[in-house]
């Protein structure tokens, strides 16, 4: 069939698309992941507190019956127990843009959320220059960058030519590289988000995961659009206390920060540039809230019969695990990101 791109009839703009359902994918603004919080449970800690009250024999029939202290206490309790089912009551709806198809392949196969992804079966990519993300390990101005750009340009030209000549986009997309960016909606509970943050903010995760999860944390921290019923006026809504979302955002840390020790100790797991310090802090029971400061301690602990010299545990800068793509990459002589 004849298809006119952009709705305008103009000589060279006329292309022959194979499927009436095909459409031009909305242009990307960058190749860096962007996370938008579309919606969230209006009174998240109130929902948690109402559920956990049942464990104590209290029946809560209205969230307005709860105090802020009830909310804080219930949330603090949930972080101390594996009985975290009440966190399922809190839902978040994110729009995640400019992520690679490599990232989405990892995300959807883990089945931790509901996803609605832009389909390249029907969405035709035209803005290739703005849609293929450069890996962080390829430096600008290098031969590697030149080779990458040349390969992308060649594939883009062939893909566009196939689609415009009548090959269905669902077939031509087989040429698309894993680094082509896309967008998707993601809906998950706080219970799942807390677990995923533990894994995806860790250096074990590919760097793109850390960028996306950090974007989720920022989106929650700055959430102002949440609303809850205003009990004084039927049908009217008022802003939810912002402190609840800030408190939730503070909890979204790597698993070692959540549990006080490294959670990746299997033979298949990688090491990382901060593990020695994490292990040292865990050995003396030091809370992760203090890891950003150096610590003088005795190793092993003092006993009544033995004295051991003091040793210093260096501070852990959060940027070491959040901003270094190579924090878990070992070159044989040590960690690249150390």
d(CA 78, CA 68): 16
Q: Which carries the bigger pLDDT value, residue 11 or residue 188?
A: 188
CA 110 to each of CA 27, 106, 213, 257, 270: distance values in angstroms, whole numbers, following the listed order = 28, 7, 15, 22, 20
| Residue 35's pLDDT band (cuts 50, 70, 90) | very high
Q: Return the minimum-mean-pLDDT range out of 9-23, 255-269, 288-302.
A: 9-23
- pLDDT tier at 217 (50, 70, 90 boundaries)? very high
Where is mean pLDDT largest: 128-132, 141-145, 323-327? 141-145
> For a pLDDT cut of 90, what percent of the chain falls above it?
57
Does 239 have pLDDT greater than 90?
no
Average pLDDT over residues 171-176: 92
Neighbours of 247 (CB within 10 A): 18
Q: Say how many CA atoms lie within 13 Å of 233 toward its Cβ.
A: 4
* Cα 264 to Cα 203, 259, 268, 275, distances in angstroms: 10, 12, 9, 10
pLDDT band at 231 (very low <50, low <70, confident <90, very high): low
Q: 3-state DSSP helix/strand/coil percent for the chain, to nearest 5?
A: 40, 15, 45
Q: Band of the pLDDT at 226, cuts 50, 70, 90?
A: very low
Output the pLDDT for position 264.
Answer: 93
pLDDT in tens, 89-122: 999 999 999 999 999 988 887 777 888 888 888 8
When comparing pLDDT for 318 and 331, which is higher?
Answer: 318
Q: What is the pLDDT of residues 47-95, one digit of tens each?
A: 999 999 998 899 999 998 999 999 999 999 988 888 888 999 999 999 9
For the cut 80, the answer to whether the pLDDT of residue 335 exceeds it is: no
Question: pLDDT averaged over the chain?
Answer: 85
* Of the candidate ranges 56-65, 136-145, 201-210, 329-338, the one whose mean pLDDT is the lowest: 329-338
Model pLDDT, residue 236? 46
Range 127-148 average pLDDT = 91
Confidence of residue 333 (pLDDT cuts 50, 70, 90): low
Q: Which residues lie below 8 Å from residue 9, measured CB to CB, with a gap of 6+?
A: none
pLDDT for the residue numbered 299: 57
pLDDT of residue 337: 61
Q: How confident is the model at residue 218 (pLDDT cuts 50, 70, 90)?
A: very high
Of 228 and 265, the one with more pLDDT: 265
Ranges of beta strands (E only) in 272-319 are: 295-298, 310-313
H and E: helices and strands count for the chain: 11, 12
pLDDT of residue 106: 86
| SS3 (DSSP) at 140 | coil
Q: Which of 199, 197, 245 is nearest to 224 (CA)?
A: 245
């Amino acid at each position: 069939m004849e298809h006119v791109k952009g709705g305008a009839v103009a000589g060279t703009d006329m292309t022959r698309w194979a499927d009436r359902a095909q459409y031009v994918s909305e242009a990307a603004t960058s190749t860096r992941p962007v996370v938008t919080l579309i919606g969230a449970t209006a009174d998240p800690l109130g929902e948690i507190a109402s559920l956990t009250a049942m464990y104590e024999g209290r029946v809560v029939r209205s969230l307005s019956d709860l105090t802020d202290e009830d909310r804080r206490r219930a949330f603090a309790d949930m972080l101390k127990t594996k009985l975290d089912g009440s966190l399922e009551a809190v839902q978040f709806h994110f729009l995640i843009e400019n992520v690679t198809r490599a990232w989405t392949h990892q995300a959807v196969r883990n089945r931790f959320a509901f996803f609605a992804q832009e389909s390249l079966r029907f969405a035709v990519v035209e803005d290739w220059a703005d849609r293929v993300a450069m890996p962080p390990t390829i430096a600008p101005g290098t031969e590697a960058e030149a080779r990458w750009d040349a390969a992308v340009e060649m594939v883009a030209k062939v893909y566009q030519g196939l689609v415009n000549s009548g090959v269905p986009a669902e077939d031509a997309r087989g040429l698309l590289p894993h680094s082509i960016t896309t967008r998707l909606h993601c809906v998950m509970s706080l219970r799942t988000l807390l677990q995923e943050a533990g894994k995806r903010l860790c250096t074990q995760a590919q760097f793109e995961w850390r960028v996306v999860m950090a974007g989720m944390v920022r989106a929650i921290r700055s959430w102002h659009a949440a609303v809850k019923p205003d009990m004084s006026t039927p049908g009217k809504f008022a802003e939810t206390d912002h402190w609840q979302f800030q408190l939730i955002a503070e909890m979204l840390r790597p698993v070692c920060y959540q549990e006080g020790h490294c959670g990746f100790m299997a033979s298949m797991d990688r090491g990382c540039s901060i593990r020695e310090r994490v292990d040292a802090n865990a050995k003396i029971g030091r809370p992760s809230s203090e890891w950003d400061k150096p610590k003088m301690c005795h190793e092993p602990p003092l006993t009544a019969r033995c004295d051991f010299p003091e040793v210093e545990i260096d501070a852990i800068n959060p940027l070491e695990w959040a901003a270094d793509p190579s924090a878990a990459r070992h070159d044989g002589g040590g960690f690249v990101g150390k």
